[in-house]
Amino acid sequence: MTAAFREEIRSWLEKHLSGEFAHARGLGGPGREHEGHEVRLAWERLLGAAGWTCLGWPGEHGGREASLAEQVVFHEEYARAQAPARVGHIGEGLIGPTVIDYGTEEQKRRFLPPIRLGEELWCQGYSEPEAGSDLANVQTRARLEGGEWVITGQKVWTSLAHVADWCFALCRTEPGSARHRGLSYLLIPMDQPGVEVRPIVQLTGTSEFNEVFFDGARTAAANILGAPGDGWRVAMATLGYERGASTLGQQIGFQREFDRVVETARRTGAAEDPVLRDRLVRSWLELRIMRLNALRTMTSLAAGEPGPEVSIAKLYWSEWHRRLGELAQAAQGRAGLVADGPPYELNDLQRLYLFSRADTIYAGSSEIQRNIIAERTLGLPKA
């Protein structure tokens, strides 16, 4: 059953990753989101039109109702074919499932089709200067005025806000409220005078996340998911979708990066160093362990019981990937310390080293994952 499905995806990708899309292979992804946005958007629309987005969504919303196993197969084949990194992943993976679970019928009709067809892109407006790990400290305010929400405040680290059409944002809608209470989950159009997006330049020299300033930004009163004041519950549900089937596809990309590090270590002679060889072997073994862990996570997700596995998986892959970045630098030797050309041209391994520093921060930092494992799994006292 999944073998036929695998074959169908494989031959579709082979056939369509040609012509204008042949050059899109390998473009984009974490740390490389600046690459080929336009061609990747066209690719997203092609995927959508052919029914290869939102595979797990219910049929009534245009999904294929694909099983978890089928979704894993899709992500594996997608990574194997080096298809371009998706530009619609925040819509498909985060806000789409939240609208399915918490949206009204009208919201489902309005927001789901453009996500599925790659016609509207989304960004996630949670973090603020004083609300990151401590998300309940959100200060962005919104009040109802003349049938619209009027929003004022600042978000930060907002990935892909510069290309997004919509932002789902956690806002304080009850004046004087604190912590988890009085928050609402608003859907805000980005293209309006009250929204200013300022790119943040990263260590890699490129910008994929931004500061977003709301200064009297407006959205219709109906553009709220869940009830006013119930935003925390909806926001936590969204975070719960930030896991799952793409993990095994991600590991195919990791294997490719690992192979490149080994090739480089051979070429530069760094592989002669027994200490480096030992680190490479360890890294290879840990990648195998990661796969087994991911399969275990899939099993518990399929059983509808996401538990601490999700935090264990995030902690494990992000720490591993950061160490791989360090290995990538060691494999290049001294040449890895110098950029290729002006003003800031990084090779793939240098980019891997610099961007993998972010892996242990986004989607819950390593310290926060350890707190979750300690408190919820090991039953240790609260931090």
Ligand X SMILES: Cc1cc2nc3c(=O)[nH]c(=O)nc-3n(C[C@H](O)[C@H](O)[C@H](O)COP(=O)(O)OP(=O)(O)OC[C@H]3O[C@@H](n4cnc5c(N)ncnc54)[C@H](O)[C@@H]3O)c2cc1C
Integer Cα distance of 21 and 28 in angstroms = 13
Closest separation in Å from C-beta 348 to ligand X: 18
Cβ-proximal residues to 100 (8 Å cutoff; 6+ apart), any chain: 57, 58, 61, 108, 112
Integer Cα distance of 169 and 144 in angstroms = 15
- Between residues 13 and 164, which has the closer beta carbon with respect to ligand X? 164
Q: Which residue is nearest to ligand X (CB)?
A: 132
Q: Which of 26, 113, 132, 229 binds ligand X (CB under 6 A)?
A: 132
- Between residues 190 and 270, which has the closer beta carbon with respect to ligand X? 190
Closest separation in Å from C-beta 63 to ligand X: 24
* Listed residue (215, 151, 147) closest to 185, CA to CA: 151
Integer Cα distance of 328 and 296 in angstroms = 29
Closest separation in Å from C-beta 133 to ligand X: 3
Asked whether 67 and 60 are in contact (CB, 8 A), the reply is no
* Percent helix, percent strand, percent coil in the chain, to nearest 5: 50, 15, 35
Q: Which of 212, 265, 294, 358 binds ligand X (CB under 6 A)?
A: 358
Which among 49-57, 100-108, 156-164, 223-231 is the span making contact with ligand X, rule CB under 6 A? Answer: 156-164
Interface with ligand X, residue 371, by CB under 6 A: yes
Integer Cα distance of 312 and 117 in angstroms = 33
Site string for ligand X, 303-342 (x = CB under 6 A): ----------------------------------------
Three-class SS state of 154: strand
Which among 36-44, 46-54, 278-286, 361-369 is the span making contact with ligand X, rule CB under 6 A? Answer: 361-369
Integer Cα distance of 186 and 107 in angstroms = 12
- Between residues 253 and 333, which has the closer beta carbon with respect to ligand X? 253
- Between residues 79 and 358, which has the closer beta carbon with respect to ligand X? 358
Interface with ligand X, residue 240, by CB under 6 A: no
Interface with ligand X, residue 12, by CB under 6 A: no
Which among 61-69, 118-126, 225-233, 267-275 is the span making contact with ligand X, rule CB under 6 A? Answer: 118-126
For the annotated catalytic residues, the residue numbers are 242
Interface with ligand X, residue 157, by CB under 6 A: yes
Closest separation in Å from C-beta 371 to ligand X: 5
Give me the sign of the Cα torsion angle 60, 61, 63, 66. negative
- Between residues 337 and 383, which has the closer beta carbon with respect to ligand X? 383
User: Using CB under 6 A, which residues numbered 201 to 220 contact ligand X?
Assistant: 209
Q: Where does 269-376 have alpha helices with state H?
A: 274-302, 309-332, 348-359, 366-372
Closest separation in Å from C-beta 57 to ligand X: 22
Return the axis-axis angle of helices 246-268 and 274-302, rounded to nearest 10°: 170
Asked whether 256 and 265 are in contact (CB, 8 A), the reply is no
Closest separation in Å from C-beta 288 to ligand X: 27
- Between residues 61 and 233, which has the closer beta carbon with respect to ligand X? 233
Asked whether 210 and 197 are in contact (CB, 8 A), the reply is yes
Buried b (16+ CB within 10 A) or exposed e, 7-17: eebbebbeebb
- Between residues 183 and 298, which has the closer beta carbon with respect to ligand X? 183
Which among 20-28, 301-309, 324-332, 355-363 is the span making contact with ligand X, rule CB under 6 A? Answer: 355-363
Query: Where along the sequence are the contacts to ligand X (CB under 6 A)?
Result: 123-127, 132-134, 157-159, 209, 358, 361-362, 365, 367-368, 371, 383
